[in-house]
Chains A and B, each alone.
Chain A
């Protein structure tokens, strides 16, 4: 219905094969690790904001 307040989004990567496994972000003041699953409401909103150009996800360290 309404935008979530999302900041500090960054991918987490597997230490062995370095593929992205989740997105770490602060959403409405709470730190979350979000699975890369479209059925997850946080992931769906992150992708919506990325497509809208209002959010960028940093690459994994």
Chain B
């Protein structure tokens, strides 16, 4: 085969998307939602991860919202993250704002070459809303040795209720990014803001801007009930053009997400005697105490917090093999642990000392227990 033929074939492979780069954004296709697939009543004070993994929500005063992992998505995707306005705020106070953020560790963005302003990278995503107009993507170099600068880029949703792909290419900041497990690069999708963030001139170069320059032109998605904004296919790659979105299996994405959050969900568990169930082994340390030492499926980013939802005596069954009897959950507490496993202390009621005890879900669709080492 001639060199010309080989080059032509290579070009075709690139055109077909068969050769792609690395996406530094985890869960860009919104496939994994370990905590929940829908959360209602998100309003002032929300500042945490709610549904789709790796995307955190910040709301200060701007209406009320339902966030969901939605199955409406552009061709080639199965899911999107959706924000639906359930209480409007047509006249935001000056300090109001709402952001959806995803954060990448500093050690995972080294190939962007922060510190050499000749280097470029590209952010691309699919977006859909009933509210057309200008939206802001703000990026923040959140690393100790970087300059800690922000840069804001406006993008336009041109057609209502239509999936559109947006591409934003930037030169990197002059400050180097620390190669560690702390927050490196933060992508912030603004969805509304008061004048504290919009009354200046949009900050379109890496700098430490006045607050008034951060989201100039941003439409107010909270202007009316039932307004919505959806996003999927979020990708960040080296270079000055967007790669075709590198799809990956659910299992691969889940494994990446579990570095930040590991959830054992009670969803899908009807009464334990009527369906398949997992059983988690503990060892007794006294008549009313037991320790659950649980390994994580992957090394977590940092020592995680223990998080629970509806983890109670009515959603959890505890059984002692030693004395062939049930016990009742009173409370749990995080004891000791690291990034590979943690020890959870159970306090129980019920008679008799038990060496070997297990817990399992019992008719607990809205319950979970998990570990959170998010950025």
Contact = CB atoms under 8 A, between A and B. Distances in A.
B345 interface: yes
A33 B344 CA distance: 10
Contact of A27 (B48, B337, B375): B48
Contacts of B181: 39
Interface in A8-61: 12, 14-15, 21-22, 24, 27-28, 30-35, 37, 39-43
Contacts of A43: 305
A17 B309 CA distance: 29
Q: Which of A1, A4, A39 has the most CB of B within 10 A?
A: A1
Interface in B176-195: 181-182, 186
Nearest to A28: B48
A4 B86 CA distance: 23
A19 to B, nearest CB: 10
A2 B303 contact: no
Nearest to A45: B47
A42 to B, nearest CB: 5
A31 B308 CA distance: 6
Q: Which of B303, B309, B374 has the most CB of A within 10 A?
A: B303
Interface string B288-312: 0100000000000011111111000
Contacts of B47: 2-5, 28
B335 A21 contact: yes
B190 to A, nearest CB: 13
Majority secondary structure of chain A interface residues (helix, strand, loop or mixed): mixed
Contacts of A42: 305, 372
Nearest to A12: B333
B235 to A, nearest CB: 23
B373 interface: yes
Interface string B319-340: 0000000000000111111000
Contact of A33 (B45, B46, B58, B306): B306
Nearest to A27: B48
Interface in B319-375: 332-337, 342, 345, 372-375
B258 interface: no
A42 B303 CA distance: 11
B333 A32 contact: no
A33 B302 contact: no
A42 B304 CA distance: 9
A12 B334 contact: yes
A40 B260 CA distance: 11
A14 B344 CA distance: 11
A4 B121 CA distance: 31
A33 B305 CA distance: 6
Contacts of A12: 333-335
Given A2-B47, A15-B345, A22-B334, A37 B306 contact: no
B317 interface: no
B230 interface: no
B303 A30 contact: no
Interface in B36-87: 45-48, 58, 60
B58 A30 contact: no
A40 B373 contact: yes
25 contacts: A2-B58, A2-B60, A4-B47, A5-B45, A21-B333, A22-B334, A22-B335, A28-B47, A28-B48, A31-B307, A31-B308, A32-B306, A33-B305, A33-B307, A33-B333, A34-B306, A35-B337, A35-B342, A37-B303, A39-B181, A39-B182, A40-B304, A42-B305, A42-B372, A43-B305
Given A35-B303, A39-B181, 6 more contacts: A2-B58, A21-B334, A28-B48, A34-B305, A35-B337, A43-B305
The 8 closest A-B pairs by CB, nearest first: A33-B334, A33-B306, A39-B302, A22-B334, A37-B303, A12-B333, A28-B48, A35-B303
Interface of B: 45-48, 58, 60, 181-182, 186, 289, 302-309, 332-337, 342, 345, 372-375
